[in-house]
Amino acid sequence: MKPRHIHRSEDCRAVSEILQRVGDKWTVLVVGKLGKGRMRFSELRTAVGGISQKMLTTTLRGLERDGFVTRTQYPTIPPRVEYELTDLGFELLKPVHALGEWARKNTARVNEARRKFDAACPEGRSGSHF
């Protein structure tokens, strides 16, 4: 193993890995909702909106596996399952919120940049097929 004094490429990989976990289509939205308190499966599904049952299950599974949420199942009829952020989950929420704040502040700038870019290259380098 490499000594501890350098954290260049390897760290970037780690960052990339975390970002890909957090950066998939639904994870942030789910974690965000759960940040407000424990929720049931259906609650979550409604709250997030637009997520399929499969994706919610998959996402929750991933989060559970990584130790970000806990799954509590009540042996009732009908079944009742609640999900809640762990401490680790809440800690993850902090830097994610920071990024979220950044996103809120700079969405306009990004959109503006996109608009300009798109306006500058309507049929520019990539041969449009359409």
Partner DNA sequence: CTGGATCCTCACTGATACTG
Partner DNA sequence: CAGTATCAGTGAGGATCCAG
Q: Which residues bind DNA (CB under 7 A)?
A: 24-26, 40-43, 45, 50-55, 57-58, 60-61, 71, 73, 78-81, 124-127, 129-130
- Min separation Cβ 50 and DNA, Å: 7
Nearest CB to a copy of itself, comparing residues 82 and 96: 96
Nearest CB to DNA, comparing residues 3 and 78: 78
CB 96 within 8 A of CB 35: no
Token output for 37: 């308190």
Strand pairing of 39-40 and 69-74?
Answer: unpaired
Give phi and psi for 112, each to the nearest 5.
Answer: -65, -45
- Min separation Cβ 78 and DNA, Å: 3
